[in-house]
Amino acid sequence: MKAMKRLTYLLLATLMVCSTTAANGNEQPNILWIIVDDMSAHFSSYGEELIETPHVDALAKRGVQFNNAYVTAPVCSTCRSAFITGMYQTTIGAHHHRSGRGTEKIHLPEGIRPIPEMFQEEGYYTTITGWPIRADERLGKTDYNFEWNASMYNGADWAKRKEGQPFFAQIQLPGGKLRGGNVESTERFVNRIEETFGNRTDVNKVSLPPYYPATDVILQDWAAYLDSVRETDRVVGEILTKLREEGDLENTIVLFMTDHGISHVRGKQFMYDEGLHVPLVIAGPGIESGQIREDLVEHIDIAALSLAYAQISIPDYMQAQDIMAADYQPRRAVYAARDRCDETVEHLRSVRTHEFKYIRNYLHQRPHLQPNAYKDNKSIVKSFKAAGEAGKLNRVQQQLLAPTRPVEELYDLKNDPHELHNLAEDPAHQGQLKRMRKALQRWEQHSGDQGVDPEPTKMFDSDMKVYVDTLEARRRPIEHINTIKNNIELMRRWAREGK
C-alpha cells in the first residue's frame, strides 16, 4: 500500500513539475538552497515582533514553513557535512568541528556521497556561492570535514549553465556573523545598517531570553543580531529578484534555512533550542502555498527532499527523509550531537520530542563554558562572565559558570520552553527520564555514533597544528594564539586525568 501511495505521489509530482516547467523547456525543476550562518528563527513569520522580514515572510506564504526544524549539529562544519550528505555527522565520522584539515584526513564511508555529485550525474548544473555572486566565479562556503572533490561544483553562477539545463545551487550568507564578535565590530555593522535601512533596531525595546543578563553589551549585541536578520532578509529579496529577472523563479524550488542558531553564550555549540532550532521555509512549483507544519524535522532532510524534487532516487543508506513526500511518516523525536569545537574537546548528545528535551553531558566533570578562545574572545561572553564575577547573575544564569555539570538534563518544553529547570532528579519525572535516555541510547547504537570513542590523538594533534599555524600566518595577536595553545594543553591534561 505504501509503495502504491509513493508511486501515485511521484506521478502527480512529476505532472505538476512538468506543467510548471514546460515554458522553460525543462523536465526537472531548479533547486536553490539559501543557507545562513549563526541565526535562529527570529523572523516575523516565526513570531519575532521587533523587526520585519518581508521577503522571508513572503516566501513562507508562497510555500511551507516548518516551525519545528532542528539541526543535528549546532556548529558550522559538522552541520554542513551532515546536510550535504543527508547523514548524521556522527555516522560519517565528521562530528568534530573543522576536523580532517591537517595531515590526518577524513574520508566518507564507502558508498556515501555528497549530493551535488548526484545532481551532476542527472544533468544538473551545480553551483555554490556567496552574495553577491563574484565575477571571478569564486565558490562560496563549503566547510565540509571530509575529503571532497571541488569538481562537484560547476561554478558560482547558475546563469552560466547551458540553455534549458536545470541547476542545483547553494547561496551561503554570513547571517549572524555580520555583527562580528566585539563591541567595535558591532557598532561598525549597525552604522552600515542605518545607511541601508535608515534606522537600527532600538536597543531599548530588546527583550532577552531569561538565561541572559541585561548588560549593555549583551543588549546592544542582540539588537545588532536582529539587524543582521533584517539584512539577511533584504538579501533574500535580491536573490529572488535575480531568479525573477532571469525567468527562473517559477521553475525553482527555493529552500531557506540556517546552519544552526545564534552564536551566543548557550546558543551555538550547545544542545539547547537556541543552538538547535532553525527556520526552514520551502516554496516553488508543486508546493501548496500558505502551509504551516508543526512536525519535527531534521536539517539533513533537505538532502532527501531536494533529490526527490529533482526526480533523483534517494539512496537507501541516506538517513535524511523526504519530508515533503505524500507517505512521509513524521518523526517522534530529533537528535543532535556536539563534539570538539576548535581546541575544545566536548561530547554532548540530545534527543527532543515535542514535549521533552534530554541532554547527556558525557564530560560532566568539566564546566559548561569550557575554555574556548573563539567564544571567550566575544564581548558578549566577556560581559556575561563579568556579570557573574560582580554577583549580577540569577541562579539559572550562574549555572553556566559552574565548574561541573549534571550528567543528565531533562526539560519539560511545554511548561519550560527556555529550558531553565532541570527535572532529571525530580522523582515525578523518572519514568520520562528513562524513556528519553533509552531513546538516545538506541539512536547512538543504530546510527553508529562514532563519537563514542575519543578523537584519536593523531587527528587532534594534526588539526590543532593547522589551527595554530593558520592563526600565526594571519598574524593574529600573540595573546590569542597563546590562549589557544594553553587550552590545547588543558584538553590534553584533562584527558589524561580522565576528566
Neighbours of 151 (CB within 10 A): 10
Per the listing, cell 559548561 goes with 368
Rounded-to-integer distance, Cα 220 and Cα 186, Å: 8
Cα–Cα distance between 402 and 397 in angstroms, integer?
10
Q: What is the pLDDT of residue 266?
A: 96
Q: Would you say residue 467 has pLDDT above 50? A: yes
Average pLDDT over the chain reads 94
pLDDT score, position 15: 39
pLDDT at residue 27 in the model: 75
pLDDT of residue 284: 98
16, pLDDT greater than 80: no
Q: Is the pLDDT of residue 19 over 50?
A: no
**Separation CA 363–CA 344 (nearest Å):** 12
Mean pLDDT over 422-435 rounds to: 98
Q: How many CB atoms within 10 Å of residue 98?
A: 18
ω before 132 within 30° of 0 (cis)?
yes
**Tens of pLDDT along 364-398?**
999 999 999 999 999 999 999 999 999 999 999 99
H helices then E strands: how many in the chain? 14, 12
Query: How far apart, in whole angstroms, are the C-alpha atoms of residue 228 and residue 193?
Result: 8
Give the N- to C-terminal CA distance of the chain in Å, as an integer. Answer: 53
- 3-state SS, residue 155: strand
β strands within 356-489, DSSP E = 356-361, 408-412
Report pLDDT digits (tens) over 80-98. 999 999 999 999 999 999 9
pLDDT by residue (tens digit) across 110-155?
999 999 999 999 999 999 999 999 999 999 999 999 999 999 999 9
pLDDT at 389: 97
Are 177 and 37 in contact by the 8 Å Cβ rule? The answer is: yes
Structural domains of the chain in order of their starting residue, each with its CATH number: 2-329 (3.40.720.10)
Residue for grid cell 600573540: 478
CA distance 271 to 71: 10
Distance of CA 180 to the CA centre of its chain: 18
Residues near 236 by beta carbon (within 8 Å), at least 6 away in sequence:
34, 55, 56, 59, 256
What is residue 141's predicted lDDT score, i.e. its pLDDT?
A: 97
State yes or no: pLDDT of 18 exceeds 80: no
With beta carbons less than 8 A apart as the criterion, state whether 165 and 125 touch.
Answer: yes
- Look up residue 390 and give its three cell numbers: 560582580
Quote the pTM value: 0.94
- Given pLDDT bands bounded at 50, 70 and 90, which one contains residue 247? very high
- 262 vs 199: CA distance, rounded Å: 22
Neighbours of 189 (CB within 10 A): 19
The pLDDT, as a whole number, for residue 13 is 42
pLDDT at res. 4: 36
- The angle, 0 to 180 degrees and rounded to 10, between the axes of the packed helices 216-245 and 54-62 is 50
Q: What is the pLDDT of residues 255-310, one digit of tens each?
A: 999 999 999 999 999 999 999 999 999 999 999 999 999 999 999 999 999 999 99
Residue 77 and residue 99: Cα distance in Å, rounded?
9
- Give the tens place of pLDDT for each residue, 181-206: 999 999 999 999 999 999 999 999 99
Angle in degrees, CA 380, 386, 389, rounded to 5: 150
Q: Lowest mean pLDDT of 15-29, 222-236, 321-335, 423-437, name the range.
A: 15-29
d(CA 114, CA 142): 11
Over 60: is that where the pLDDT of 25 sits? no
Beta strands in 114-209 (DSSP E): 125-129, 167-173
Judge whether residue 14 has pLDDT over 80: no
Q: Tell me what percent of the residues of the chain surpass a pLDDT of 90.
A: 94
DSSP character string of 416-444:
-TT--S--TT-GGGHHHHHHHHHHHHHHH
21, pLDDT greater than 80: no
The phi and psi torsions of 484 (rounded to 5 degrees) equal: -65, -45
Q: How many angstroms separate the most distant Cα atoms in the chain?
A: 67
